Structure 1
Amino acid sequence: MNPDVRLPGRFSRHTLLIATAAAVPLTGWAAHALTLHKRLAATRKDPLTGLLRRDAYTAHARRLLARHGDKMTVLMVDADHVDRTTDG
């Protein structure tokens, strides 16, 4: 870049260099935070059915009960080993 080039406005080359140097790590951190958020959200749901896992469902049910109290009933069905048949 030609050192004699003047940039329009009140910003100097030094100011733009500092702004660029600050923007690169911030972009990386934002991308990392987005990836981490997606991974954490994926741990709350079953990959096969898309339904909430037990811990996430329990936390959601507790929030609903705390908010609505006696006006609400929560039913939790444990569906482990549904595909197995019993002999006998």
Structure 2
Amino acid sequence: MVADLAAAVEGLAEAIPPKQAALLLGIAVALRGTALAGDPDVARVAAEATAVIGAEAFAEQLCTGAAMSREDALTTIDKAVSG
């Protein structure tokens, strides 16, 4: 179930602005407990976000998301969904 939520968050990252996308990719790492290496969709979203906001900003957002508690992660996801 957690892996499904993490995958859904990664899917949501495709549809939102790059800075939020980087944060959500980090949240997916936090929910799953590990990064999902080799997923072409995640790699594409990460590359696109990095191209727009830069490597430093991408890394910062990714780390912020990955460090979130489950409660904070779910609150952030809810905000991203409800816009």
The TM-score normalised by the length of structure 1 is 0.23
The TM-score normalised by the length of structure 2 is 0.24
Larger radius of gyration: 1
Higher helix share: 2
